[in-house]
Structure 1
Amino acid sequence: MENRIYNFNPGPAVLPLEVLKEAQSEMLNFKNSGMSVMEISHRSKPYEAVHNQAKADIKELMELGDDYEVLFIQGGASMQFTMVPQNFAHDGKIGNYILSGSFATKAYQEAALLGDAHIAASSKDSNFKYIPKQNEIKLSKDAAYLHVCYNNTIFGTEYKYIPETNGIPLIADMSSDMLSRPLDFSKFDLIYAGVQKNLGPAGVCLVVAKKSFIENSPKSVPTMLRYDTYAKNNSLYNTPPAFGIYMVGKVAAWIKKQGGLEAMEKRNIHKAKLIYDIIDSSAGFYRGHAEPDSRSYMNITFRLPTEDLEVKFVKEALEHNLSGVKGHRSVGGLRTSLYNAMPLAGCEALADFMEKFKKNNV
């Protein structure tokens, strides 16, 4: 590990060590240009190759064809909360939202600020312990789209199915589980993901969308908030976050090298099972927040018998080189994020620490 700790932070999050080393080796002289990738022009051929290869690798991993476009946009996933309704909720149609956590709720609230928005389903009544099921989804008659947050970082829940919308466009925030498992991505009209959780450093929002869905944004929407601005200019209308895109491309290539999304899913399930098994066998010492059938493979949230023990857990975990395990204030307790780049050894070390902590504090 070369003096590196195991980083369980939810984002910015762990990146593959192999990718970091490769970026380090190119930091001062990218492709014999005599400059860093952070210094070269975004209009240059060396950067253009990086940009386009990243797009190609992402589409290959998602098994999507030329009818989909890959965009790199700034402003994080939070900018998408306003871009989505501005581009698609018009002409009497309104955005429909499933509220399954904090970010799904923020997306709905942003749409409501801009006009009308409809709650198609919600698990707020349980403090977002579960993902609403298909039969709970009630779309409005004037639905412009259905928006879902596919993995809820704060509450530790994750969709295990793709919602059926009967032809209504489906939009997903996949910030914390993007490229972590194979899905039929062709069922989604637009997917967005802040890359700092599972794909790269902060500063880039990856958008993957059907070309036909984004080719004509309303002329009333400001230029930099229009999807067609990015689509028509290969995400180069203004200076892009070049280093972030460069890193996303390297992570996508790394995922391909590991065996693609099928291999990622197998590995991620195995890692998560190590931790969930400790929780489930602890006789209530560890209490998971999410209901079992909605549990995330990316973010595991749990509580201990007392808040004092939770404080102690965080402190002692760091002493064992296990960082970032404190839960979000809205849930409390503990949270461990097991993104693609978290090595199996990190999860094994965490599981071992949890066993010993329980034994020493029962």
Structure 2
Amino acid sequence: MTAKRKTVKAKAPLKNPRRAADQGLALLLEEVAKRKKMVHQYLKEKDRPDKFKPDDIYRGVHSYLGAGGKSLRPAVLLFSCGAAGGSEERALPAAAAIEVYHTWTLVHDDIIDRDSLRRGIPTVHESIKRQAMKKLGLKEAEAGHYGISMAVLAGDLQQGWTISLLTELVKEKGVNPILALQLILDLEVDVQCSLIEGEALDVLFSKLPVQQLSEEKIIDMLWKKTGALYQFAGRAGAMIGIDQPNAKHPLVEALSAFTSNCGIAFQLQDDILGITGDQRKLGKPVGSDIREGKRTVIVHHALGEAGAADRRVILRTLGNPKAPAGDVKRTARILEEAGSLAYTADLAQKYVRKALAALEPIPLSDYKKLLLSWANYMINREF
């Protein structure tokens, strides 16, 4: 038995489209913040300080959860549940689970990318390293290995916590047990394999000449890294909404396709912000993707459009961790002048249009309106 869908009367369009968009964004961010509060309160209730040991592991597990992330994935899972006619309260354990699951991917990703900053604070492995130097008296190299080791283990524990949270769907919320098992299977096999393949390809591609890659290969890698988990958020929310483990249900298919395409748009916008964003808002150094040698659609497009001299600048800077700040800035300028940022923004808009088309079968409701606003936020956000 699913909850009655909350419907609304269509309002007369506002005369000022810009004002309407601003109001829609403000409402979206307000509603996302409410879901974040719900999810994090639930995680506090399910915290296991008696199990998450020693202290370095506990801090590693909780570091990013309290560091100011937007909690978009759990929010979109709850919105999708509501859009499919379900109760957000029943889906809350799954929303908490996807928040924890996403967090372990960040912990491990920061190790792979050798990042020292995330959300404006030291990354998990960097923070533990600093503590090890201070409290254990370790030298920097040994403390670095210690920090990485503890961060890997903290991420592993977060995966286990994710499964524990999904079992609460049955134990606490009365969700169909077969549905809960299906969600665990989907997350731990389909999503996990896609995500790890995407991360592995990201690392592999950074070692290959960009000319060997195609835009299609890069987009596929981006979807596996980012889109697969967003797709799961929509699919899981919809399945809980209808209380059926039926991936072929029209509502489930529509919301899965919607969140999948939005996930690609999100990553394309992320790549743009990695070059043009405000470091204070991003919480990480702008230009780090260039130094790390990330094979993005932006870089791929620029190498096909820029002149020979500019291509040489891009290629000598890309993947050079010691590249001077001037070279990084010059490369960023070349990417913009080649039209590559605009090209990527247009591509992100195309994926959002595909997402909006997929959402058409979903009946009008407050939840559908939030999803529509969320789709536009994917390509208009500044952090």
Taking structure 2 as the reference length, the TM-score comes to 0.23
Higher helix share: 2
Question: More strand per residue: 1 or 2?
Answer: 1
Structure having greater relative contact order (Cα 8 Å, sep ≥ 6) = 1
